[in-house]
A and B are shown apart, each in its own frame.
Chain A
Amino acid sequence: MASEASLPSVLAPPGAKGMWLVCLKRYGWWGLLAPALLLYALVFFLPLSVLVADSLHPSGAADLSLANYNAFFTDGITLSIFLRTVRLALFVTLACLVFGYPLALFMRRAGPAMRMVALTIVVSPLLTSVIVRNVAWLLVLGREGMVNTLLRNAGLIDGPLPLLYNTFGVVVGVTHVYLAFLVLPVFSALLAIDPSTEQAAASLGASRFTVFRRVTLPMSMAGVIAGSTLVFVLTMGVYLTPVIMGGSFVTTLPMVMTDLVRTQFDFSRAAAFGVMLLVFITAILIASSRAEKRIEQMRGEMP
């Protein structure tokens, strides 16, 4: 039997075991859930409820009002910024698909060592500080940056390309880190495909491309949907990368909300915008999980 000493030391701060055993003995399984539930109640559900309540009281007024939600659609700016945020999220998702899917395919075919290397590389942006990552991109994409210098030295361009402080720059910065969220689900979906299915299709005379289009792609669709949804939803909440790499001309909804809270003293309006963002994200997630379920069902019906 494994001894206690073999437990990871991170799990055994003084008192942890005591807390566990007391919780478990007194309150059963609910006891184990209690600390997390208490934490969430205080720092998650309570603040979010306050947020919703605030959003209904514009500028601290006592009366309930939908004025803040109204402003989202009618102030002439917020809706357009929201739509631009959606557009940015779509661009990022598309970029992740275009670059991430082939990478996942490659990782599936690669040997174990290469696979490990590729996996490490894919995850590595997640392990780098977000600001540091973005500042490094400034050096790569700037007017006098690496890309422009290389292209100019190669004689391919006359003037520097505008790679930074626009939507392109932000898409690059966000794609860089969120690519992992697409590659990993797609990769695991690809791994789950039985190679014999593809071999069977090939032996029946299908070209490699047809095999990919008719077998591999459909069978990895669940991973594609899960990954794209994750990337899309995460991008909707992105703040720092557009601030650093977008100049202020690329504005996202989270930037508007932060500005409202920090400099414009309008918490209730920011709260309303936050609730709108949450509703939108929830809708996307529900739609995505329905789509995944349908795909599972369709696969179940396949002979």
Chain B
Amino acid sequence: MSETRIGLFVGSIASLVMVFLVLPQVILLVQSFTAEDYLSFPPRLALVIGTAAAIGLDRGPMVLRKAMRTALVSPMILPHVVLGMAIYRVFLPIRFDDTVTGFLIAHLVLCVPYVIVTVGASLQGMDRSLEQAAVSLGASVPMALWRVVLPLIRPGLIGGAVFAFITSFDEFIVTYFLASRQTTAPIQIFSSLSYQLEPSIAAVSGLTLVVTAALCGLLILRGGMAGTARVA
């Protein structure tokens, strides 16, 4: 009797929390949307740099590994306001503040840690015997890395790409410090369209939802396929 009551209690709290989480998104989907121009930053470079770093951390020198890992992951926890201020302070005197390159590398620092974490996790869970087999059959280490390891950790790569994309796409405060003419979608909404839930706002939000949902779907699908491939 009391057990089912506890189960019911937990279940109902869980359902309420899920409604709480989903409500605003549903409201926004109800708003109609039209296409709108926006500028987002390709997280590809973050993926290349982050994956390289993750492999370097995993395989590289044991000394300093822990300290280096902490340092490389720290932008995730650092308040963006602090990093935004600091980057703004360094970029402004050399007038690097409002350039596409400036934006790109600022966003890179925010995205790379996510890639390092997800790819790092995949590397740790990876079965290394395949790689060793490739090397013993005569493949060079870089070749084994490129041909064997990377395909094996694909789910981690895609997860990292999704996180990097979300981070860059939705980043506000660093861009807020740096931008005058270069803008991103969040800044646009905040400045001119802000607070009037007009079609353009719903468009950008709808776009974010669709793109991220698609990426997640991709992640799940690819992840699943990679799993079956490995089993096979």
Contact = CB atoms under 8 A, between A and B. Distances in A.
A98 to B, nearest CB: 9
Contacts of B197: 135-136, 139
Contacts of A124: 21-22, 25
Contacts of B106: 43
Nearest to A51: B86
Given A4-B147, A33-B60, A277-B79, A21 B189 contact: no
Contacts of A139: 27, 197
Interface in B117-147: 134, 141-142, 145-147
Interface in A1-41: 1-4, 6-8, 10-11, 13, 16-17, 19-21, 23-25, 28-33, 35-37, 39-40
Given A43-B109, A136-B24, A281 B60 contact: no
A176 B189 CA distance: 20
A8 B17 contact: no
Mostly, the B contact residues are helix
A262 B78 CA distance: 20
Interface of B: 2-3, 6-7, 9-11, 13-14, 16-18, 20-25, 27-28, 44-45, 47-53, 55-57, 59-61, 68, 71-72, 74-75, 77-83, 85-90, 105-106, 108-109, 112, 116, 134, 141-142, 145-148, 150-152, 154, 157-158, 161, 166, 169-170, 172-173, 176-177, 185-186, 189-190, 194-195, 197, 201, 204-205, 208-209, 212-213, 216, 222
27 contacts: A11-B47, A13-B48, A21-B146, A25-B142, A29-B55, A30-B56, A32-B53, A32-B56, A36-B49, A36-B52, A43-B106, A48-B82, A51-B82, A51-B86, A118-B18, A124-B25, A127-B213, A128-B205, A130-B170, A135-B195, A136-B25, A179-B21, A239-B80, A258-B85, A258-B173, A261-B85, A270-B85
